[in-house]
């Protein structure tokens, strides 16, 4: 399969560059004919920067909407605060929203009072919220970065993240006394996938590994930092195929793999977005009014501060064979 560079489009900041409002990890969904964006909310908390991401000390969520991709972005205000989540500790990280039967379900990453990440759920009657959190996280959940795919009548949740996301602490869905990444020559740790229950508040099954294979059908290795999964799961469908996209973390690529069903396995295809300014790369992909868009972020407006990021959007294009044209980070 071929991989071409997309040079016909330019990334656009969704909020004014000098607004002083910093939003990251944009999860974009189409509800009621509009794009709704659910980002994490960066702020200057004063926590020192480290590899575990303690400086990403988010404490609330806002929701934004667009009626057209070039139109005015509307801030609907705060939809959930960490103080309103009964089991909350700190760090309200990435989230995603799904709709079922007129109800909206916000899935979010948050540390509990023991500093362990879990995935919580909050509900609302409108996509712009406000959302009310459940009293406890999803039973058996761990790590970060939930993404939900609606596929026919079923809903699947994808999650996981290394280093500060704590995925390396788990094997077979069980916490380990000491957790570490595999050796470089061993298979890489996988993102997780589980079908959601009918009530949308629980896993309907034990989470499974989402396996990414190389061009020879072998699992990607832990030492393959340019291709292996690190965090930022996203799943979308295009022409009947399932596209799993993700961040490689410390090498700063957005990559993708293609499979034939929601569970995989998935075969690595290439890079969607080359590195941008700022340590993290996190995204969503959505179709809107006949075109596809990549929502992501960078740290240019804040002068490169990795904990003060700004949302961007750019058109995403496919090659005739279904591969995605690589976008150069700007």
Provide φ and ψ at 96, rounded to 5°: -155, 160
**Active-site choice (151, 231, 315, 317):** 231
Euclidean distance between CA atoms 193 and 189, whole angstroms: 13
| Tokens representing residue 163 in the block | 């280093």
Euclidean distance between CA atoms 299 and 165, whole angstroms: 20
**Active-site choice (7, 25, 151, 184):** 25
Give the torsion through C-alpha atoms of 123, 127, 39, 179, to 10 deg.
30
Residues in the chain: 330
Pairing of strands 241-247, 254-259: antiparallel
Best CA proximity match to 272, nearest among 46, 40, 4:
4
Question: Quick check: is 215 catalytic?
Answer: no
230-263: b or e for each residue (b if 16 or more CB lie within 10 Å)?
bbbbbbbeeeeebbbbbbbbeebbbbbbbbeebb
73 contacts 15 by C-beta, under 8 angstroms: yes
Rg (CA), the chain: 18
Pairing of strands 154-159, 147-151: antiparallel
CA count, 13 A, side-chain hemisphere, 169: 16
Question: Quick check: is 25 catalytic?
Answer: yes
Provide φ and ψ at 250, rounded to 5°: -70, -10
166 contacts 142 by C-beta, under 8 angstroms: yes
Q: List the catalytic residues.
A: 25, 231
């Amino acid at each position: 399969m071929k991989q071409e560079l997309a040079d016909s489009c330019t990334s656009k900041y969704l909020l004014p560059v000098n607004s002083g409002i910093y939003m990251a990890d944009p999860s974009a969904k189409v509800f009621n004919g509009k794009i709704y964006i659910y980002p994490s909310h960066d702020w200057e908390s004063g926590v020192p920067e480290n590899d575990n991401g303690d400086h990403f000390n988010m404490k609330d969520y806002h929701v934004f909407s667009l009626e057209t991709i070039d139109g005015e972005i509307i801030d609907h205000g705060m939809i959930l605060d960490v103080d309103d989540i009964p089991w909350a500790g700190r760090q309200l990280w990435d989230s995603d929203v799904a709709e079922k039967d007129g109800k909206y379900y916000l899935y979010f990453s948050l540390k509990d009072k023991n500093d362990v990440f879990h995935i919580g759920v909050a509900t609302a009657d409108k996509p712009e919220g406000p959302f009310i959190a459940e009293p406890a996280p999803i039973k058996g959940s761990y790590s970060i970065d939930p993404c939900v795919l609606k596929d026919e009548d079923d809903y699947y949740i994808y999650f996981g993240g290394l280093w500060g996301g704590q995925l390396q602490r788990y094997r077979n869905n069980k916490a380990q006394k000491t957790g570490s990444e595999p050796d470089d020559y061993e298979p890489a740790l996988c993102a997780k996938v589980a079908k959601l229950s009918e009530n949308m508040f629980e896993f309907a099954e034990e989470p499974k590994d989402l396996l990414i294979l190389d061009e020879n059908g072998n699992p990607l290795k832990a030492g393959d930092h340019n291709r292996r999964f690190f965090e930022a799961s996203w799943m979308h469908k295009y022409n009947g195929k399932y596209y799993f996209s993700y961040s490689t973390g410390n090498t700063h690529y957005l990559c993708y793999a293609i499979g034939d069903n929601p569970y995989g396995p998935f075969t690595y295809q290439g890079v969607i977005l080359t590195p941008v300014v700022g340590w993290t790369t996190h995204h969503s992909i959505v179709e809107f009014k006949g075109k596809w868009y990549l929502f992501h972020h960078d740290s240019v407006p804040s002068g490169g501060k990795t904990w003060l990021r700004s949302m961007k959007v750019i058109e995403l294009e496919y090659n005739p064979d279904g591969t995605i044209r690589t976008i150069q980070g700007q």
